[in-house]
Structure 1
Amino acid sequence: MRVKNLHGWDLDYKQARALQEELAGKLRFTSFDKKPKLVAGLDCAFSKDGSRIGAVIVVMRWPDFEIVETAEAVRPVQMPYVPGYLSFREGPACIAAAMKLKHVPSVFIIDGQGTAHPRRMGLASHLGLFFDRPTIGCAKSRLTGEHDEPGPEKGDYAWLWDDNEKIGAVLRTRTRVKPVYVSPGHKCTRQDAIRIVLQCTTKYKLPEPTRIAHQLVTKMKPRI
């Protein structure tokens, strides 16, 4: 898969913040109104000493979730952990894995935030610009914003707000199970993100592509 070369990664936090603010203006939230053919899940894990990061992408056929292809990559960690700058830690490994893909996914579901980010530039949004493909952030925890509790049934959701701006949704993907935080990354809308995550969720909390990506990157950890 071809990936854009938008910028380098040797940045300090001030430079990284300025870059996020610049790139946020390039995001596009166009409607993704067709059914996806190939859905990719992406997840990362760190080495035991925290000096390296591994990324796994699994490409699945929708709607039967047959695995079509997997790709993985390992890269050194270039930035210490600070909330809001995850893409500068995980991005290089994710991009290296994506460049190995022979199939081009219709959409990526990424374990991280999209616009549900203080500068609207979470990992899913950042990678969306590199991939130039529709991306969705589906995170297990909240980074920023406030919300009401969604209803208890699968498919119930509440909007996630930052002041008066709607930045994502808190989505129940399994009845009476803790919700996930869903937001568009690039080239899709909030409603598209909710719909696609639900279409890719079976009997588990996580969508199948990211659930399997998580399993594969966990198995990969001893080799990172």
Structure 2
Amino acid sequence: MVTSHDPRPDLAPQADLSREEMESLQREIAEAAIFEDSLEVDLEALSSPLEAAAAGAETPIVAGVDQSFLLDSEPERALSAVVAMRGGEVIERVHAVTSLEIPYVPGLLAFREGGPILAALEELSVDPDCYLFDGSGRIHFRQAGIATHVGVVLDAPSVGVAKSLLCGTPRGDLENRQPGVRVPIEANERVDALEGTVLGYAVQTRQYDSPNRSINPLYVSPGHRVSAETAADVAFDLATSYKLPEPIRLADAYADEAKRERGRT
């Protein structure tokens, strides 16, 4: 399904707001977000680009977004890295270095890192069909993690991929699950949503063969214009050889590479 939308630059993260104002803006972001599929391309082509090409379907461009920090700078600065991929190949890498204006506060990550990320995304010459963020989407206290916030601002399909669970309750055991298994994450009393609402999924992308070691799942949730089910599919399909989806893994590596090139640690 594709509907008509518009970017919302008026909802871009602002660092000079009070905490109450930030939380209010996040609720406005969540109200504007679309947690269902509203796409211009078929993201199923991510898992079978050759078949999609043979059928004449367009292979989507997916961008992974990650950040690193220049710890020896004053004021503290972020290095935001973006890696755009199509059909499993990197087609563009960009980054931007910007100042961080507020400290880390759980649940308000977008106000610390959203501006730097938007600055990096402005450097892209390609137009991604979907963005994957190292962070939360709808799995968030106010249903407005960084993937949702930036996705709504840009009016772009986006997915949040987090390594730890910020809030919500898993609908089942997460221990030693096999690859491909996904467990719904439901809203609880800490989330501004009806209790039991499915916010996203714990997605098992990789697992050890040994019963004595276990790989934790990723916590995947829709950011904007993507359903929870499609978000989980995308994250799993793009985790080709490692736990993390390849665009995010490569964005993380590129952020470290760009830091080394700047002579920073």
Distance 1:93 1:3, change over 3 A: farther
Distance in 1 separating the partners of 2:95 and 2:157: 20
Which consecutive unaligned segments of at least 5 residues does structure 1 have? none
Which of 21, 25, 28 is the aligned partner of 1:19? 25
**1:157 Cα deviation (Å)?**
1.0
Which of 180, 188, 202 is the aligned partner of 1:155? 180
**1:38 Cα deviation (Å)?**
0.7
Which of 7, 31, 34 is the aligned partner of 1:28? 34
* CA displacement, residues 173-218 of structure 1 (integer Å, 9 cap, x when unaligned): 0124211000000001001001111111112000000000000112
Q: TM-score, normalised by structure 1?
A: 0.92
Does the alignment pair 1:68 with 2:74? no
Distance in 2 separating the partners of 1:3 and 1:158: 32
Which of 149, 155, 169 is the aligned partner of 2:201? 169
Which of 7, 10, 33 is the aligned partner of 1:6? 10
Match of 1:43 in 2: 66
Q: Is the 8 A contact 2:162 2:218 kept in 1?
A: yes
**1:30 Cα deviation (Å)?**
3.0
SS of the residue corresponding to residue 149 of structure 1 reads coil
Distance in 1 separating the partners of 2:35 and 2:207: 29
Percent of pairs identical after alignment?
34
**1:149 Cα deviation (Å)?**
2.5
* CA displacement, residues 139-164 of structure 1 (integer Å, 9 cap, x when unaligned): 11111112122462111011111222
Distance in 1 separating the partners of 2:230 and 2:109: 24
Deviates more, 1:28-37 or 1:17-26: 28-37
Does the alignment pair 1:211 with 2:249? yes
Match of 2:143 in 1: 120
**1:104 Cα deviation (Å)?**
0.5
Which consecutive unaligned segments of at least 5 residues does structure 2 have? 1-5, 47-59, 189-195, 209-214
**1:3 Cα deviation (Å)?**
6.7
| Amino acid paired to 2:182 | Y
Distance in 1 separating the partners of 2:32 and 2:255: 30
Q: Is the 8 A contact 2:11 2:25 kept in 1?
A: no
Instruction: Tell me the matched-pair count.
Output: 221
* CA displacement, residues 36-72 of structure 1 (integer Å, 9 cap, x when unaligned): 511110001111147111100100012xx21101111
Q: Is the 8 A contact 1:3 1:95 kept in 2?
A: no
Does the alignment pair 1:106 with 2:129? yes
**1:129 Cα deviation (Å)?**
0.9
Distance in 2 separating the partners of 1:180 and 1:152: 12
Distance in 1 separating the partners of 2:77 and 2:259: 10
| Structure showing greater Rg | 2
**1:221 Cα deviation (Å)?**
3.0
Distance 1:70 1:136, change over 3 A: same
Which of 83, 89, 112 is the aligned partner of 1:58? 83
Deviates more, 1:14-23 or 1:118-127: 14-23
